[in-house]
């Protein structure tokens, strides 16, 4: 079997759509109804009912817009889309072999990723993009019942949930996105940066601080993986008096052994269940998350501290 280094260089003849610097006026106008409805989240004085923001990670498994029915018509545009367009421009400079070497993907996955990069086009609308909360389909998102949320619950999610992303930086649930593959931890150094962490850290954290400034307690509940949480500038957050609460999910040790450990696949689902719990119950205050008990989990006060909460599964 030929190795990746020895195989012939592949060429995929694709005509890439142009990359405008900003979404068109038409796209901006199309999202005005929703922006008017949630303007209190974006630009109004502090909302006394908004006391925290949950941050989480994306998933590799995603659905294209054609497979994701728009169960709600309102949408927003990613806050850092201009930087996403910069990344796409850099990725389009790579050959398929260079892309495979960067992402360590199979021929089939490299081909599909290459097509996603070259088919990326803006402005985003409901025909070529889908809501972030519906696009991601990984273990955590399978536990999020977004198809059945009420309008009030969706508004709550938009105010209280942020998804960190290698391509989009920071996403709100109703932001439109196109499927992609770009993990935050990849050794990809666009525009003179060492890696994606350096590319995103400052502006992403500034946007998050802007959202936190609309809260009364400036509390971040971290439900992201370590790979994605590292993009947050903790010094900048501390300077803005933002508090981070870490969540640890632990499960009984497998094979009947004594004790507990963190099993990644179960913890991913638990993160999704906690997000779903917070949205369905419109939880605005971090402390109320300690009531989470889905799938046998319980908050463990003796094992927890002020900023690190442990939940164990019975």
pLDDT at 26 over 90: no
* pTM of the complete model: 0.85
Please give the mean pLDDT across all residues of the chain. Answer: 86
Task: Quote the pLDDT of residue 229.
Answer: 98
Specify whether the CB–CB gap between 149 and 282 falls below 8 A. Answer: no
Residue range 151-160: mean pLDDT, rounded? 95
Rounded distance, CA 197 to CA 170, Å?
Answer: 12
Dihedral sign for Cα 279, 281, 286, 292, please. Answer: negative
Question: Among 104-108, 132-136, 189-193, whose mean pLDDT is lowest?
Answer: 189-193
Task: Quote the pLDDT of residue 285.
Answer: 96
Structure confidence at residue 73 as a pLDDT band (50, 70, 90)? confident
Helix (H) or strand (E) segment spanning residue 211: helix 196-212
Specify whether the CB–CB gap between 176 and 73 falls below 8 A. Answer: no
Could you give phi then psi for residue 21, rounded to 5 degrees?
Answer: -70, -35
Task: Quote the pLDDT of residue 214.
Answer: 87
Classify residue 126 as exposed, middle or buried by CB count within 10 Å of its CB (0-12, 13-18, 19+).
middle
Q: What is the pLDDT of residues 33-51, one digit of tens each?
A: 333 333 223 333 344 457 8
Higher pLDDT, 30 or 17: 17
Question: Among 16-20, 74-78, 97-101, whose mean pLDDT is lowest?
Answer: 16-20
Q: What is the pLDDT of residues 229-261, one digit of tens each?
A: 999 999 999 999 999 999 999 999 887 788 999
pLDDT at 274 over 70: yes
Task: Quote the pLDDT of residue 18.
Answer: 52
Angle of the 107-119 helix axis to the 96-103 helix axis, nearest 10: 110
Kindly give the pairing relationship between strand 297-299 and strand 308-313. antiparallel
Which residue bears the tokens 């993986």? 225
């Amino acid at each position: 079997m030929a190795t990746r280094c020895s195989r012939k260089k592949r060429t995929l003849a694709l005509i890439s759509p142009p990359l405008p610097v900003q979404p068109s006026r038409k796209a901006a106008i199309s999202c005005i109804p929703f922006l008017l409805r949630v303007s209190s989240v974006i630009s109004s004085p502090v909302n006394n009912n908004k006391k925290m923001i949950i941050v989480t990670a994306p998933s590799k498994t995603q659905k294209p817009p054609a497979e994701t029915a728009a169960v709600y018509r309102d949408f927003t545009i990613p806050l850092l889309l201009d930087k996403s367009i910069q990344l796409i421009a850099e990725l389009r400079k790579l050959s398929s072999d260079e892309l495979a070497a960067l992402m360590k993907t199979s021929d089939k996955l490299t081909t599909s990723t290459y097509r996603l990069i070259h088919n990326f086009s803006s402005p985003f609308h409901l025909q070529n993009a889908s809501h972030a909360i519906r696009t991601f389909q990984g273990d955590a998102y399978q536990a999020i019942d977004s198809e059945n949320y009420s309008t009030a619950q969706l508004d709550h999610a938009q105010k209280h949930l942020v998804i960190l992303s290698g391509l989009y930086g920071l996403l709100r649930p109703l932001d439109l996105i196109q499927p992609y593959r770009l993990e935050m931890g990849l050794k990809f150094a666009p525009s003179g940066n060492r890696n994606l962490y350096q590319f995103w850290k400052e502006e992403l954290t500034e946007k998050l601080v802007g959202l936190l400034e609309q809260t009364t307690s400036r509390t971040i509940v971290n439900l992201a993986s370590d790979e994605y949480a590292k993009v947050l500038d903790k010094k900048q957050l501390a300077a803005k008096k933002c508090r981070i609460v870490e969540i640890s999910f632990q499960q009984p040790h497998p094979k009947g052994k004594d004790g507990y450990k963190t099993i990644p696949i179960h913890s991913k689902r638990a993160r999704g269940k906690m997000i779903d719990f917070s949205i369905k119950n419109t939880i605005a205050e971090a402390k109320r998350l300690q009531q989470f008990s889905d799938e046998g989990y319980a908050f463990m006060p003796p094992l927890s501290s002020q900023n690190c909460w442990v939940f164990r599964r019975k």
